[in-house]
């Protein structure tokens, strides 16, 4: 069983959750819950403890990488003005009033000078028009200043401000593509972990059992023990020797050798005390590794 099979079964549920997600953070929560569910389902089917541990580590690593998944789709920026329109209008009227007053005072000063020039331009008439001209110029300057500030956004009292709202919509297709690629990578890693476990188990079986099942090793050990016993009892042992030779040849084709006591390591045999060394049952050995202990008599 692979995680991808569980993921495909949850496809519609995942996509529905991503569509409802209003932000990348909510989409990440959907993915985290899905990884937890996948790990639980996988561990219920997997019987190898080592592979289950690998699945746990891989899903944890994938969950840590979720914030790096490109979940961002369409981005919208909303702008809203919270300024007071009344303050802006009041400021505009003030500027207009200043400009109008300034124009009137300037016109009055010019008219006074023109009237005086029609008769005789005296010093008193000239001095009388100067204040009006100065006041009109001041009002024109102040009205222009207020108009300029209004165009720049209004620096007077009651000026408004703008607020912005950013909305990021999740792209379900892009997230699903990233999620599927991640789970495929996890499945590949778990497959390699399972193959490694099987390979190590086969190697251990070969090294400890010589490629023999325990029942098979017990069978051939018993046959050899019976043949060795008959060899010591019968006078004409040609048939017994032929039987032993055939068993040895069969075991040799299975890459298993029979070793008599004295021809191998002492620890390969279960020893009985006696007057002379004698092999009761040879040891079974493959590539220098003991498959089945032999039985022998050791002189004390």
Residue 231's nearest CA partner among 219, 252, 217, 245 is 245
Domain map of the chain by residue range?
3-70+171-203, 85-160, 211-299
Task: Please give the model's pTM, rounded to 2 decimal places.
Answer: 0.42
pLDDT in tens, the chain (300 residues): 688 888 889 889 888 888 887 777 888 888 889 999 988 988 888 878 888 888 888 888 888 877 765 555 555 555 555 554 444 444 556 666 666 666 666 566 666 655 555 555 455 555 555 666 666 666 666 666 666 665 555 544 444 555 655 555 667 888 888 888 888 888 888 888 888 877 776 665 555 544 567 778 888 888 998 888 888 777 667 888 888 899 989 888 888 889 988 876 788 888 888 888 888 999 998 888 888 889 988 876
Going by the DSSP 8-state scheme, the letter that residue 170 receives in this structure is E
From the list 194, 178, 182, the residue with the least C-alpha distance to 3 is: 182
Beta sheet of 294-299, edge-to-edge order = 269-274, 294-299, 278-281
CA distances for 291 relative to 184, 192, 256, 269, angstroms: 42, 30, 8, 11
The count of other CB atoms within 10 Å of the CB of residue 235 is: 4
CA 254 vs. chain centroid, Å, equals 49
For residue 146, what are the contacts with CB-CB under 8 A and spacing of at least 6? 91, 94, 95, 98, 156
pLDDT for res 158: 47
């Amino acid at each position: 069983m692979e995680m991808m099979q569980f993921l495909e079964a949850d496809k519609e549920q995942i996509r529905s959750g991503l569509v409802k997600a209003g932000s990348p953070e909510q989409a990440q929560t959907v993915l985290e819950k899905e990884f937890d569910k996948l790990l639980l389902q996988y561990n219920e089917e997997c019987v190898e403890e080592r592979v289950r541990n690998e699945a746990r580590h891989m899903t944890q690593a994938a969950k840590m990488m979720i914030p790096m998944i490109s979940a961002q789709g369409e981005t919208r920026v909303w702008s809203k003005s919270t300024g007071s329109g009344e303050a802006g209008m009041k400021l505009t009227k003030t500027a207009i009033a200043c400009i109008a007053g300034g124009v009137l005072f300037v016109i009055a000063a010019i008219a006074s000078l023109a009237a005086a020039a029609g008769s005789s331009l005296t010093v008193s008439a000239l001095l009388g028009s100067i204040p009006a001209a100065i006041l009109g110029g001041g009002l024109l300057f102040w009205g222009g200043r207020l108009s300029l500030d209004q165009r720049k956004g209004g620096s007077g009292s009651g000026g408004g401000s703008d607020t912005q709202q950013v909305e990021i919509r999740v792209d379900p297709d892009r997230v699903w593509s990233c999620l599927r690629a991640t789970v495929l990578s996890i499945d590949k890693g778990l497959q390699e972990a399972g193959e490694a476990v099987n390979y190590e188990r086969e190697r251990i079986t070969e090294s400890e059992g010589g490629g023999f099942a325990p029942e098979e090793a017990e069978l051939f050990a018993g046959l050899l023990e019976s043949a060795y016993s008959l060899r010591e009892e019968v006078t004409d042992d040609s048939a017994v020797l032929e039987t032993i030779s055939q068993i040895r040849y069969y075991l040799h084709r299975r890459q298993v050798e029979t070793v008599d006591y004295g021809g191998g390591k002492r620890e390969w045999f279960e020893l009985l005390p006696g007057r002379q060394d004698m092999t009761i049952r040879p040891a079974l050995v493959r590539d220098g590794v003991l498959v089945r202990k032999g039985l022998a008599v050791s002189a004390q």
